[in-house]
Amino acid sequence: KRDLEDPSSAHFGFLPFYKHLILVFSVINSQIHTSSGLAAKDHYKVLVLGGGSGGITMAARMKRKVGAQSVAIVEPSEVHYYQPIWTLVGAGAKSVASSVRSTVSVIPSGVTWVKSKVAEFDPKNNTVHTDSGKKISYDYLIVALGLELHYEKIKGLPEGFEHPKIGSNYSVKTVEKTWNALKNFKEGNALFTFPNTPVKCGGAPQKIMYLSDAFLRKTGKRSKANIIYNTPLPKLFGVKKYADALWEIVKKRDLNINLRHNLIEVRADKQEAVFENLDKPGETEVYKYEMIHVTPPMGPPAVLKGSSLDDAAGWLDVNKNTLQHKTYANVFGIGDCTNLPTAKTAAAVAAQSAVLDRTVSRILKKQTPDKIYDGYTSCPLVTSYNTVILAEFDYDGQPLETFPVDQSKESRVMYHMKADFMPLLYWHGLLKGLWGGPGPYRTIMHLGMK
């Protein structure tokens, strides 16, 4: 062992082979993990649908409850992304590579991975059908399918991304295009949009605006830029305390905000974007741009829409307090695919996971769920390359702040927490089923008071 670790060792040349051997064993282990899942049994005590943040953390938690052999996770993708960091990737502050892990590396050891897409639900028979033709039955089902991006609902997209000067931080395919558009900006309008649908991380569309402003100032181009944020919403941010703070930043930095403006078309070849005025139906306005960041319309997973598990809008229909399905008592939901009336964020998933863990535990014991989810969610509003306003709030849009300071103030400490600490907490805490949100720490920091 000393010889392999000591550069002065006569055997140091063996190190590359040693590392290669570890890699080979790692790959073999991955294949065993994967193939065993593909050839696995057809019934599980707990079946988890989706390998995003909600699915992985609940698989880890359920493994501790019922044993790894009794848990399976259905997920088609071979890669897992830490998407919150893409805001900083789009601004050139982080790399895409820092957001990526293999799916096999984040699935809890021993848990079966069914590498397929969900094709159909049959909750009356406690069964799920996959696109590979597999039929899997369960005692308990956890749905964590996330949401879907719909660039195609904007005329001219997604094909418009083949042109320069356009990007989107919401897809791994387009996030680096945002950075390319920003660093190559010369003169004109820098446009930033928000869709007329529910979104994940509702603050992200304006975070990249603040970062772009900071970058253009740093590079001496700000005087040649007209920064515009067009949103269909009637307000800048949903929680007044943070909205007031953001309006102050907007005024101070000479940013232009147009409320009730919805993007309906991108003419990438002409560098034009068309918006409809929601307060004046039928009225449209064309904006020329030197750069545009598009936030796509979003919606529930297609497989959920029209199933017996969705609400009228296509989202998973769950009790907002317990995360248990309103019709099927052995079905539960977490994260972006649900109709929980709170912002769709990774922070919300963390808090929901702790509640859902307790809910399932009680159900397993034939007891009534007793832990209530208060809608906690968080949005670290990045306002520059070294400042963040850490918004935390509940179902009612009331601030639910963890730290005993005014979090509506820009903070360098909060920036480093967003950029450096939260990724570690995600990979090593949330995905391991060990992080259920800051609730207990909030109580301590506020001396027992909310």
Of 15, 149, 57, 89, the closest CA to residue 425 belongs to: 57
Report how far apart, in Å, the C-alpha atoms of 437 and of each of 10, 83, 350, 389, 422 are: 49, 18, 5, 18, 11
Place of tokens 């409320």: 259
**Cα–Cα distance, 243 to 317 (Å, whole number):** 30
337 given a catalytic annotation: no
**Cα–Cα distance, 327 to 121 (Å, whole number):** 14
Cβ atoms of 395 and 23 within 8 Å: the answer is no
379 given a catalytic annotation: yes
Beta pairing class for 272-277 and 284-288: antiparallel
**Cα–Cα distance, 227 to 249 (Å, whole number):** 13
Catalytic residue among 56, 85, 89, 201: 201
Catalytic residue among 143, 291, 316, 379: 379
Active site (catalytic) residues: 201, 379
